[in-house]
C-alpha cells in the first residue's frame, strides 16, 4: 500500500515524489515514458528554478557539466534589443531536458521512491466524499488490456498538459484563447553562441535560442495558429534564416534533429485539487514559455503539493487541496498576473509594436521584467 501515487515523472512529479519520500511517505511514481526521454523544452533553468533545485539537492550530478547562463537577450520589432545580465551571484543553467529529467528521477529513487516507467495512467479512481467526489487512487492500463485499480489515500497529478487525472475531473482544460503551438529542434554550427539565452518577439510569433553544453543550439518557435505548422521544418529554417537578429549566425547552421511539435500550449486549472488529488506542473496550469519561468512553477509547485500531502498524512490537516490552493496563491499570484500581461502583449501585432517602441525608449523596463521572470535578487 502506498501513501501517495505521483502520476508523471517530469520535474514537478519527481520533485514532489522526492520531498514526499524524504518526509517518510511511501511513494509510487509512474510515467508512461522510459527515461531518459526527449521532451520539447527551452533546455534552460532560470535562477529561480535553479535555487529551488539546489536547495532540494536534486541536480548535483548534472550541475557540474551544465552550461552557465548569465542572462537574457530580448529583441523586438523596430530593432529593439535589450541585454540583461543577471545580478552578481545569480546564474541559470543550460542542460538537455532529457538529462535534467533523468537526474530528478534518480534523485527520487535515491530518496526511496518506487519508480515504474512505461505505465499508462488511464484515469482517476473515484469514490464518494460525503456527497461529493473524491479520488481514491488511479486506474492503470494493464498489459493484457484490462484496467488495474491501484488505491492510495492521495494522488498527485503531475502528468502534463493533457492530464488524464485533472481533465476528466474537470479541474483543467484547454482554453479557447490563447491558442499557441510550439515547434523546436536542435541546430549545429550556429556561430557566436554565448552564455546568454535569447527571446525574439515578432508579430505573429516569437522564438527562443539557447546554447547547450553539447555544442548544439536549441531553437523553439511559438505561433498562434496551427496552420503555420503545416511544414514544421520549413518554419524553423525560415525563421532563423529570415530574421535580422539571428540570420548571420545561422548561415552555416544545420538542423541536427527532426522538429518536434507541441500544442495547444495553454492550460487553465480551475483549482489545484479536490479531496484525494493535488495538481502540479503543467496539469495545474501551463505557463507561457515566453517567460522562461515554467520550470520554476513546476519544481516549486511539486514541492508545495508534497508539503500539503505530508501535512495530511501526518494528521496536521484534513483538506490538503485547500492548503495547496492557499500556498499556490501566495507563491505564484504575482507571476500569474505577469504571465497574463505577457500573453496579452504578444497576442496582437499592435501591442508587439508598442512594446518595441517602449523597449527602445525605456529599456530599463524590459530589464526589470526579465529579472522578475527569472527571480533574480534585486
Residue 90 has pLDDT above 90, yes or no: no
Helix (H, G, I), strand (E, B) or coil at 320: helix
Q: What is the 3-state secondary structure (H, E, C) of 217-250?
A: EEEEEEECCHHHHCCHHHHHHHHHHHCCCCHHHH
Taking the CA atoms of the chain, what radius of gyration do you get in angstroms?
Answer: 21
**Domains of the chain with CATH codes:** 4-43+96-174+265-345 (3.50.50.60), 181-263+348-373 (3.30.9.100)
Degrees, nearest 5: CA angle 159-288-91: 95
Torsion of CA 249, 253, 257, 261, to 10 degrees: 50
Q: Are the C-beta atoms of 267 and 283 separated by less than 8 Å?
A: yes
Name the packing angle between helices 294-313 and 11-22 (round to 10°): 30
CA distances from 67 to 85, 102, 200, 318, 350 (A): 15, 17, 21, 44, 36
pLDDT: which is higher, 127 or 322: 322
Q: Which residues, in sequence order, are bridge partners of residue 235?
A: none
Grid coordinates 536549441 are at which residue? 218
Positive/negative CA dihedral, 366, 369, 375, 378: positive
Q: What distance in Å separates the CA atoms of residue 300 and residue 285, rounded to the nearest whole number? A: 13
The model's pLDDT over 99-117, given as tens digits with 9 standing for 90+, comes to 999 999 999 999 999 999 9
Confidence of residue 248 (pLDDT cuts 50, 70, 90): very high
The model's pLDDT over 260-280, given as tens digits with 9 standing for 90+, comes to 998 877 788 889 999 999 999
Q: What distance in Å separates the CA atoms of residue 180 and residue 262, rounded to the nearest whole number? A: 9
* Strand bridging mode 154-157 / 277-279: parallel
Instruction: Output the average pLDDT for the chain.
Output: 87
The model's pLDDT over 269-308, given as tens digits with 9 standing for 90+, comes to 889 999 999 999 999 987 766 667 788 999 999 999 999 9
When mean pLDDT is compared across 152-156, 200-204, 349-353, the lowest value belongs to: 349-353
* Residue 182 in grid coordinates: 510550439
The model's pLDDT over 176-190, given as tens digits with 9 standing for 90+, comes to 777 788 999 999 999
When mean pLDDT is compared across 128-132, 260-264, 359-363, the lowest value belongs to: 359-363
**pLDDT score of 369:** 67
* Strand bridging mode 27-31 / 132-141: unpaired
As a whole number, mean pLDDT of residues 200-212 equals 89
**pLDDT score of 329:** 94
Amino acid at each position: 500500500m502506498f501513501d501517495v501515487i505521483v502520476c508523471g515523472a517530469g520535474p514537478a512529479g519527481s520533485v514532489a515524489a522526492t520531498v514526499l519520500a524524504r518526509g517518510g511517505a511511501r511513494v509510487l511514481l509512474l510515467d508512461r515514458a522510459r527515461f531518459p526521454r526527449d521532451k520539447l523544452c527551452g533546455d534552460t533553468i532560470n535562477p529561480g528554478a535553479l535555487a529551488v533545485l539546489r536547495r532540494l539537492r536534486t541536480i548535483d550530478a548534472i550541475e557540474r557539466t551544465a552550461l552557465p547562463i548569465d542572462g537574457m537577450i530580448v529583441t523586438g520589432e523596430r530593432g529593439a534589443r535589450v541585454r540583461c545580465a543577471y545580478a552578481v551571484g545569480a546564474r541559470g543553467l543550460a542542460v538537455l531536458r532529457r538529462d535534467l529529467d533523468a537526474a530528478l528521477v534518480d534523485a527520487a529513487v535515491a530518496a526511496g521512491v518506487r519508480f515504474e516507467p512505461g505505465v499508462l495512467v488511464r484515469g482517476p479512481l473515484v469514490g464518494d466524499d460525503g456527497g461529493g467526489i473524491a479520488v481514491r487512487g488511479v486506474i492503470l492500463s494493464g498489459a493484457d488490456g484490462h484496467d488495474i485499480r491501484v488505491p492510495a489515500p492521495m494522488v498527485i497529478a503531475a502528468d502534463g498538459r493533457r492530464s488524464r487525472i485533472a481533465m476528466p475531473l474537470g479541474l483543467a482544460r484547454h482554453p479557447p484563447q490563447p491558442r499557441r503551438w510550439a515547434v523546436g529542434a536542435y541546430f549545429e554550427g550556429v556561430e557566436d553562441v554565448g552564455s546568454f539565452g535569447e527571446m525574439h518577439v515578432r508579430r505573429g510569433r516569437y522564438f527562443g535560442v539557447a546554447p547547450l553544453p553539447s555544442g548544439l543550439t536549441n531553437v523553439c518557435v511559438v505561433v498562434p495558429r496551427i496552420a503555420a505548422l503545416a511544414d514544421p521544418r520549413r518554419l524553423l529554417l525560415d525563421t532563423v534564416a529570415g530574421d535580422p537578429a539571428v540570420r548571420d549566425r545561422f548561415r552555416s547552421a544545420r538542423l541536427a534533429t527532426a522538429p518536434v511539435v507541441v500544442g495547444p500550449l495553454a492550460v487553465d486549472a480551475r483549482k489545484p485539487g479536490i479531496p484525494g488529488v493535488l495538481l502540479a506542473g503543467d496539469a495545474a496550469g501551463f505557463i507561457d514559455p515566453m517567460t522562461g519561468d515554467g520550470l520554476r512553477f513546476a519544481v516549486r509547485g511539486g514541492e508545495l503539493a508534497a508539503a500539503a500531502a505530508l501535512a495530511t498524512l501526518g494528521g496536521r490537516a484534513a483538506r490538503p487541496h485547500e492548503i495547496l490552493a492557499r500556498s499556490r496563491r501566495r507563491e505564484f499570484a504575482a507571476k500569474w498576473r505577469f504571465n497574463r500581461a505577457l500573453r496579452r502583449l504578444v497576442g496582437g501585432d499592435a501591442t508587439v509594436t508598442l512594446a518595441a517602441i517602449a523597449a527602445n525608449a525605456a529599456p530599463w523596463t524590459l530589464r526589470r521584467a526579465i529579472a522578475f521572470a527569472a527571480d533574480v535578487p534585486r
